[in-house]
Chain A
Amino acid sequence: DEILRSLAGPPSPPGQDPHGWRVPVDCVRANELCAAEPSCSSRYRTLRQCLAGRDRNTMLANKECQTALEVLQESPLYDCRCKRGMKKELQCLQIYWSIHLGLTEGEEFYEASPYEPVTSRLSDIFRLASIFSGMDPATNSKSNHCLDAAKACNLNDNCKRLRSGYISTCSKEISATEHCSRRKCHKALRQFFDRVPSEYTYRLLFCSCKDQACAERRRQTIVPSCSYEDKEKPNCLDLRNTCRTDHLCRSRLADFHTNCQASFQSLTSCPGDNYQACLGSYAVLIGFDMTPNYVDASTTSITISPWCSCKGSGNLEEECEKFLRDFTENPCLRNAIQAFGNGTDVNLSPKNPSPPVTLQPKTEKSPALPDDINDSNTMYDTSVITTCTSVQEHGSKLNKSKEQSLCYSETQLTTDIMPDQKTFVDQKAGGSRHWAGRILPVVPILLLKLVL
């Protein structure tokens, strides 16, 4: 916690940056900046030696290591971030974790994401969905959206090539004993989700279904027999530890926790009401040890889980269940998936607005305890959003009704509670202070300039 507080605390002395303003740089660039400065580069080298093969406590017991860490907190390396799919992503993440592993406990439940926050919004995703509906004239209740998604992919050369790439790799039998090469399958899946635009990949992953054939197709998207299922189901905390030994997996998991964390302050249950960010973090978890998938071909309830269980958790059962629930019973993730799947319905909703009853469960649940994520009514949330979006867009055309005012007030409430949607650091760290920290360094420089 001390470290987290220092994270939000006063920043470096202004002399370090010639502009006095710390523009967030990626860690590869920050590393270059550090290498150009003898004091920074020697401390960084020291820290890396400190971290190599030692746990955090042993490291911090060493005075030299501690000093190195303190000095580096004031270098551009400290608040650098990485971009998804950037060149040298792995190198960037290695640099990020080399500092942050020293800063955090290492055993924390949630870790801050090393990735830059996603800025595209909910509206973008719905716009995307409406493009799809325009593409397929046969978008009626009978159509299979997952089949349409496969068609759209097959008709695009890039999507077809990379889809076929992972499908053939993941369904290739190696020998009588080895069903497939999981390692190669995961790699091909990562390539697919990294290199194919999300308008194709999300559509395959999050298509909405009305029958079982469709839902089974959706479940089969990632070739689960190779990429997901295994002979044994490991314990979820063990799986998390395995994931955390890999910089990429660790980063993607931290990103998932940052963007899909169920929030009880927002209407959509998602941080900053940003569905796009949650779906994106979900998609890039595929192809790692923590690969999530639909657990069955149910059309009514969506249940997502990594391939693990909480059996054999011992005294960590509670922590394990909590970890697993972020996948299986996460209203943010579920709403995001359903909103994307039903995105096409947004334009139609003014004709048949949802009955006001759907608002009731949400209104009652708003002040719920953070532990209460056992929410089976989350299906309603999508319709709430739909109603709100449509009411806001077409509000003038509709008669003033009870639902409308209710909806407005809730939207207002949401924006009031979460004014700072740009905060991506753990909420506990105090987002506003973090912001202050970024703005403050300008002041001394300005004063200095005035004096001169």
Chain B
Amino acid sequence: SRRKRARARHKPCALKELEVSVSELGLGYESDETVLFRYCSGTCEAAVRSYDLSLKSMRSRRKIKKEKVRARPCCRPLAYDDDVSFLDAYNRYYTVNELSAKECGCV
């Protein structure tokens, strides 16, 4: 049953969102303005391709040894949201691009 609960938490890759202050983004900006931060989260188990299986096989047969390879699809943004602008604590405007995900996928 513990395994089942763990599975339930691992939903398929999808867009999620958080309301955060600009300061919390950790980009070095000081501003109390709130922005919507959209990110990609979830598992990609259903999106395993022949590529991934073959790559795994190559690795286990030690045909690939030194290179860093990733044999599992990864939940990442396929597209990014429009620019976000804000006024900081020193009354200067900044615009940040590609801050937020717009579309997610297993790549």
Chain A residues with CB under 8 Å of chain B are 144, 147, 150-151, 154-155, 157, 160-161, 163-165, 167-168, 170-171, 216-217, 220, 223
Say whether B34 contacts A164, CB under 8 Å. no
Q: Which of A157, A165, A168, A217 contacts B87 (CB 8 A)?
A: A217
The closest CB in chain A to the CB of B22 belongs to A154
* B37 vs chain A, min Cβ distance (A): 10
Say whether A167 contacts B93, CB under 8 Å. yes
Q: Which of B86, B93, B95 contacts A154 (CB 8 A)?
A: B86
Cα distance, A101 to B82, chains bound together (Å): 44
Sample (14) of A-B pairs whose CB atoms are under 8 Å apart: A147-B32, A147-B33, A154-B36, A155-B19, A155-B34, A160-B36, A165-B83, A167-B95, A170-B93, A171-B95, A217-B87, A217-B91, A220-B93, A223-B93
Cα distance, A150 to B85, chains bound together (Å): 10
Say whether B33 contacts A151, CB under 8 Å. yes
Hey, which chain A residues are within 8 Å of B95, CB to CB?
Answer: 164, 167-168, 171
Hey, which chain B residues are within 8 Å of A144, CB to CB?
Answer: 32
B interface majority secondary structure: strand
Contacts A155-B19, A171-B93, A171-B95 given; does A164 touch B33 at CB 8 Å: no
Contacts A147-B32, A154-B34 given; does A220 touch B91 at CB 8 Å: yes
Cα distance, A147 to B34, chains bound together (Å): 8
Contacts A167-B93, A168-B95, A223-B93 given; does A154 touch B84 at CB 8 Å: yes
Cα distance, A166 to B95, chains bound together (Å): 10
Say whether A164 contacts B83, CB under 8 Å. yes
- B35 lies within 8 A of chain A by Cβ: yes
Say whether B85 contacts A168, CB under 8 Å. yes
* A173 vs chain B, min Cβ distance (A): 12
Cα distance, A160 to B84, chains bound together (Å): 7
The closest CB in chain A to the CB of B96 belongs to A164
Hey, which chain B residues are within 8 Å of A167, CB to CB?
Answer: 85, 93, 95
Cα distance, A223 to B82, chains bound together (Å): 20
Q: Which of A147, A150, A168, A217 contacts B83 (CB 8 A)?
A: A168
